[in-house]
């Protein structure tokens, strides 16, 4: 990330659930959130993935809530026994938790409307910490919530994305990070020296080199990020010259 | 993860690099590592993703190295200015670092053989902490290394996978975790109660419910994991009965 930003709020993500740690599921929410945060002017500093384990969730929520302006969580707010996120977040933030009338009313109306039993398992989804604001779930009603700077959302990607789309416009972000990139079909070792000089000459930009291996040869995507369009253009022009010198 | 395991070694992963935090790249190494660790009898407890930032890398290496038996890192060991992983791991573990003769000899032979200049940038890839064991890189030679319980590998997925394939057989894993799963095309709310009872009756098994949303309706994959085949079979039989009762 650029070393000097116009004080964009910092963010962290906490992915909760065994399914990624077991190799069963390939993450989708991290990728989606990262892209959305860049566009809305938040700097994503860190992501953690932890299991459905009370101590692990509480520790991670406390650490990330203290170190970042916003924490976004995904997973563990459904009706089954392994859905313990709401209780863990309440404990981490020192809030009490119980079935809240507003969340229960939303869910009761939703299930009544469909002629489905609003059973005890489903009532668990109305457990919301005291003082939290509900996050709207336009797909399946069971709400997420924001407690302090922790925003708790579902793990099912379609629901996560829908909740995030409602939440993000309510948070004050900073300037969107601009980026330009150039793919070079040469190994990094050939341009690393001039690239380091370029980075030193533009201290307010972030210049990243992301190598790839394709058809038996290395190449790299050089990505320049920053908030000043004119600096970005200057650095990209210099990059093109470095690249030509290497070919 | 199952509450009681035959003392399988614990593991953590540290993904280093701005490309995932910026939403540019969707993670591949986490997914690959998680699947390999399960098969080799390691419990993956936690994953962290941090930026190319010295303090963030050092803090994460120290925290994960203290809390887990093994730490696997990916990213940041190439020749460019943003490749700072080796130096950060050395600092985190209190080791000195410099260009090591064995790594330099490997790289010199590789580049000489191809008639490519072994320049200063490429020599950076021979920076290996004192006391570390090299991890073989059959694709592009530049080695990874193991320092204490921290195993440092490349971020390019093909290289990461090749390094891991050489490393894993040298580490002592435990029993492979067995798992069986059943996909149910019913919302979790309908089977959450009996599922919680099932989990309580089989305390040595992990019973996870992973909801999905497809074609306008919720379903869930129920995954039962454990080390005892006979317990697993019994729990799956009970699960089938619960599922029939719900349909």
Residue A17, chain B, CB below 8 Å: the answer is yes
**CB-based contact (8 Å) between A178 and chain B?**
no
Q: What is the pLDDT of residue A151?
A: 98
Whether A183 has its CB under 8 Å from any CB of chain B: the answer is no
| pTM for the whole structure | 0.90
Domains of chain B are 10-170 (3.40.980.10), 178-246 (3.30.70.1130)
CA-CA distance, B184 to A162, in Å (whole number)? 24
**pLDDT for the residue B18:** 87
Q: Which position has the token pair 């809305």?
A: A40
Closest CA to B64 of B55, B76, B74, B72: B72
N residues, chain B: 247
Q: Check CB contact under 8 Å for A189 and B18.
A: no
Contacts of A27 in chain B (CB under 8 A): 26-27, 30-31
User: Nearest CB to A212: which of B34, B156, B195?
Assistant: B156
pLDDT grade for B241, boundaries at 50, 70 and 90: confident
Place of tokens 């200057």: A234
Does residue B166 surpass a pLDDT of 50? yes
Set of chain B residues whose Cβ sits within 8 Å of the Cβ of A220: 80
Token pair, residue A87, equals 């209780």
Q: C-alpha angle B170/B36/B139, rounded to 5°?
A: 70
pLDDT at A247: 54
- Say what the pLDDT of residue B175 is: 87
Over range B135-152, report the average pLDDT: 97
| Cα gap B107→B96, rounded to integer Å | 21
Whether pLDDT at B214 is above 90: no
Contact criterion met (CB below 8 Å) for A6 and A174? yes
Contact residues, chain B, for A188 at CB < 8 Å: 78-80, 121
Comparing CB atoms, the residue among B34, B122, B179 nearest residue A189 is B122
For residues B214 and B197, what is the distance between their CA atoms, to the nearest angstrom? 27
Mean pLDDT over the full length of chain B: 93
CB contact under 8 A, A22 and B30: no
**B178 and chain A: CB distance < 8 Å anywhere?**
no
Which residue of B181, B192, B209, B242 to mutate against A (max A Cβ within 10 Å)? B192
The residue of chain B with its CA nearest to that of A28 is B26
Residues in Cβ contact with A94 at an 8 Å cutoff, skipping those fewer than 6 apart: none
Give the pLDDT of residue A95. 98
Rounded Cα–Cα distance for residues B90 and A226 (Å): 30
| Angle, CA B28 vertex, CA B73 and CA A31 arms, to 5° | 105
Distance CA B166, CA A154 (A): 38
pLDDT of res. A167? 98
Q: Do B80 and A195 touch (CB under 8 A)?
A: yes
Q: Which residues of B11-31 are buried (b: 16+ CB within 10 A; e: fewer)?
A: bbbbbbbbbbbbbbbbbbbbb
pLDDT in tens, B9-68: 999 999 998 889 999 889 899 999 999 999 999 999 999 999 999 999 999 999 999 999
Instruction: Tell me which chain B residues have a C-beta less than 8 angstroms from the C-beta of A141.
Output: none
User: Residue A200 in contact with residue A240, Cβ under 8 Å?
Assistant: no
Q: Which residues from B are below 8 Å from A33, CB to CB? A: 23
Instruction: Give the residues across from B128 on adjacent strands.
Output: B98
d(CA A172, CA A170): 7
- Residue pair B228/B236 in contact by the 8 Å Cβ criterion: no
- Average pLDDT of the segment spanning B208-233: 91
How many CB atoms lie under 10 A from the CB of residue A170?
10
pLDDT in tens, chain A (247 residues): 554 455 799 999 999 988 899 998 898 999 999 999 999 999 999 999 999 999 999 999 999 999 999 999 999 999 999 999 999 999 999 999 999 999 999 999 999 998 999 999 999 999 999 999 999 999 999 999 999 999 999 999 999 999 999 999 999 999 888 999 999 888 899 889 999 999 999 999 999 999 998 888 889 999 999 999 999 999 999 998 887 766 5
Q: What is the pLDDT of residues B77-105, one digit of tens each?
A: 999 999 999 999 999 999 999 999 999 99
pLDDT of B4 over the 50 cut: no
Q: What is the mean pLDDT of residues B165-191?
A: 92
Query: How far is A116 from A123, CA to CA, in rounded Å?
Result: 13
**Chain centre to alpha carbon of residue B88:** 19
- Percentage, residues of chain B above pLDDT 70: 96
């Amino acid at each position: 990330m650029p070393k000097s930003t116009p004080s964009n709020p910092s963010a962290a993500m906490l992915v909760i659930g065994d399914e990624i740690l077991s190799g069963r599921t390939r993450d989708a929410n991290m990728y989606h959130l990262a892209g959305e945060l860049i566009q809305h002017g938040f700097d994503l500093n860190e992501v953690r993935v932890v299991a459905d384990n009370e101590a692990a969730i509480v520790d991670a929520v406390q650490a990330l809530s203290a170190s970042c302006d916003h924490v976004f969580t995904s997973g563990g707010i459904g009706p089954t026994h392994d859905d313990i996120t709401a209780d863990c977040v309440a404990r981490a933030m020192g809030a009490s938790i119980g079935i809240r009338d507003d969340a229960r009313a939303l869910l009761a109306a939703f299930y009544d409307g469909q002629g489905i039993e609003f059973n005890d398992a489903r009532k668990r989804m109305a457990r919301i910490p005291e003082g939290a604001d509900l996050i709207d779930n336009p797909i399946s009603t069971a709400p997420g919530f924001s407690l302090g700077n922790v925003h708790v959302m579902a793990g099912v990607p379609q629901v996560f994305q829908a909740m995030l789309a409602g939440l993000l416009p309510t948070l004050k972000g900073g300037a969107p990070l601009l980026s330009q990139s150039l793919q070079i079909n040469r190994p990094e070792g050939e341009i690393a020296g001039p690239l380091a000089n370029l980075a030193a000459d533009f201290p307010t930009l972030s210049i990243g080199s992301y190598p790839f291996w394709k058809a038996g040869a290395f190449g790299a995507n050089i990505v320049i990020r920053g908030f000043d369009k004119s600096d970005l253009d200057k650095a990209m022009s210099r990059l093109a010259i470095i690249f030509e010198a290497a070919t």
